[in-house]
A and B are shown apart, each in its own frame.
Chain A
Amino acid sequence: NAGVTQTPKFRVLKTGQSMTLLCAQDMNHEYMYWYRQDPGMGLRLIHYSVGEGTTAKGEVPDGYNVSRLKKQNFLLGLESAAPSQTSVYFCASSGQARTDTQYFGPGTRLTVL
């Protein structure tokens, strides 16, 4: 099993450009999450999904959109990138929300110039 994979691993954008980050998991997990992590800080939840076709806002959703069309995939979109969105983005999945053993992807390092 590959676990949780993320593409791309690195990306540089100019202000105003758009992009989509892809997260895929092969563990048949119901729950999927997108986080951002800024230097020296913890994880902040952007959006999450409790199942195929569902999404919900997390702590810092502004400027991002998500979609969960297939159970194994969770997409994070930036419609008009801003320098404040420079960060490392992690995707995670879990089988049960309340026990919260979350499995993380390797991360995407995004720089917005």
Chain B
Amino acid sequence: GQSLEQPSEVTAVEGAIVQINCTYQTSGFYGLSWYQQHDGGAPTFLSYNALDGLEETGRFSSFLSRSDSYGYLLLQELQMKDSASYFCAVRGYQLIWGAGTKLIIKP
């Protein structure tokens, strides 16, 4: 079957670093994407990894290990506006989404 697992909730302190993990099992694999969704809003694209390694975009980085079927999103210098849900999504023969990780940031 196809599945993605990510933690349901992560709590961190403003200014800190947080890592959100995603493990997957899919039929076929083309890449791993990360999206951010604020409460009541639409998902917005953050990053995409097709190859092993780290992709960096400003305060956000995303990592992929295809051999381990694992990836993570790293958020640095956390700001209150980063409070949101973060979804990993895997492109296999279809696009499958994780259930999302709610990131709670405390001052």
Whether A associates with B in a native complex is yes
Contact residues of A: prevailing secondary structure: loop
Q: How large is the interface on B (under 10, 10 to 19, 20 to 34, 35 or more residues)?
A: 20 to 34
Given contact pairs A99-B48, A100-B89, A59 touches B42 in the complex (Cβ within 8 A)? no
The verdict on A90 contacting B30 (CB below 8 Å), with A41-B99, A100-B48 known, is no
Q: Indicate whether A64 reaches chain B with its CB closer than 8 angstroms.
A: no
B19 within 8 A of A: no
Whether A98 and B94, one on each chain, are in contact in the complex, defined by CB atoms closer than 8 angstroms, is no
CA of A41 to CA of B50, assembled, Å: 25
A residues 77-99 touching B (CB-CB < 8 Å): 90, 92, 97-99
Interface positions, chain B 84-107, Cβ under 8 Å from A, are 87, 89, 91, 94-100
Q: List 11 A-B contacts (CB under 8 A).
A: A33-B95, A45-B95, A92-B43, A97-B91, A98-B30, A99-B48, A99-B50, A101-B48, A103-B45, A105-B42, A106-B42
Interface residues, chain B, CB within 8 Å of chain A?
30-31, 33, 35, 41-45, 48, 50, 87, 89, 91, 94-100
